[in-house]
Amino acid sequence: MNKVYFLLLYVLIVAVDSAAQSQPDSIVVTGKTTVVDSTIINPVLPVVVQDSVSKKPKEPASWQVSTINQPGFSWQVLQRHPYFGFGSSIIKNEQQNIRSINGKESLFYVIILLLLIFAVLRQIFQKYFSDLFRLFFRTTLKQRQIREQLMQTPLPSLLLNGFFILSAGLYVSLLFKHFDINPVQNFWLLFFYCCIGLSAAYFVKFVFLKIAGWVFNTVEAANAYIFIVFVINKMIGILLLPFIAILAFGVGNVYTAGLVLSWCLVAGLILYRFILTYASVRNQVKVNPFHFFLYLCAFEIAPLLLIYKALLVYFK
């Protein structure tokens, strides 16, 4: 009897299994029919979920298929982000006219050093600078007293004369470079020669004026003339500083304007020196204006013209 029951149970199970394989069970979820294979009864077999409408699995997009398994997939996803423009083209900076100065770093530091020297001298010898500018611009009637005070302070006077040599030597070196007069190829060696030349020229002039004053018994007039010459030189050394910076780094119209204005400044100061010299010497020595003009032509203008001619002939 038991064997009959087991046989009937086995036949029933086989019939149910074959019916389940021929007709899948349907479950409706949110208006969409999803087929669940009845073999889910057997926990060993895998579960297959299919769309009852299309009967085919949904294929991913082409870009997903081509890139999902490739490196950099996350970056491609960011490129297609709707809120962040990771895929936009790179914004290129507009080309800027950045002026680069190559090979002038040493010149820049030398100019800064000159400015620092002037600032230190100006800070240490404040009274000397105040008297110097008052005497130069003639803002006081006590000219003789201020001159005596300046002559009694030889240290700042000597230091400012050295500052004039450095400043004027650098200015002359830049002029040589502008006119393509190259006695030597090294700029700093040219600067050294210019400083030595200016020092030698003014030393010879100082000695000549001292000897002339002693020979002609006009020591006071010679000392006054020497004092005025070196006062103007000090002012030239100070006022040339901004023009040196322009000639060193200026271009175009700025350079041309700086060059012309520097010439006008030097010419104006030299002319002013002649006027002050004549006014000072005339009070001590009876000199004819024509004789004074001849002196200027012979000992002031002629040496400059000879030096200029020698440079043109030698470096032509």
The string of pLDDT tens digits covering residues 231-268 is 999 999 999 999 999 999 988 899 999 999 999 999 99
Residue 3 reports pLDDT greater than 80: no
**CA torsion, ordered 13, 16, 18, 22, to nearest 10 deg:** -170
Please give the single-letter amino acid code of residue 219.
Answer: V
Q: What percent of the chain has pLDDT over 70?
A: 64
Measured in whole angstroms, the distance separating CA 151 from the mean position of its chain's CA atoms is 42
Mean pLDDT over 109-124 rounds to: 94
Distance CA 174, CA 249 (A): 11
Confidence of residue 121 (pLDDT cuts 50, 70, 90): very high
> Exposed (0-12), middle (13-18) or buried (19+): which is 126, by Cβ within 10 Å?
exposed
Query: What is the per-residue pLDDT across 57-115, written as a single tens digit (0 to 9) for each?
Result: 555 444 444 444 445 556 666 666 666 656 666 555 556 666 655 668 889 999 999 99
What is the structure's pLDDT at 223? 86
Average pLDDT over all residues of the chain: 75
Give burial (CB, 10 Å; 0-12/13-18/19+) of 272.
Answer: middle
First to last CA, the chain: 139
Q: What is the pLDDT of residues 162-206, one digit of tens each?
A: 999 999 999 999 998 888 877 788 899 989 999 998 999 899 889
Does residue 144 register a pLDDT over 80?
no
Please, are residues 263 and 187 in contact by the beta-carbon 8 Å criterion? no
| Res 40: pLDDT | 43
Q: Which of 67-76, 146-155, 203-212 has the lowest mean pLDDT?
A: 67-76
DSSP string, 197-217: HHHHHHHHHHHHHHHHHHHTT
- Between residues 55 and 183, the one the model is more confident about: 183
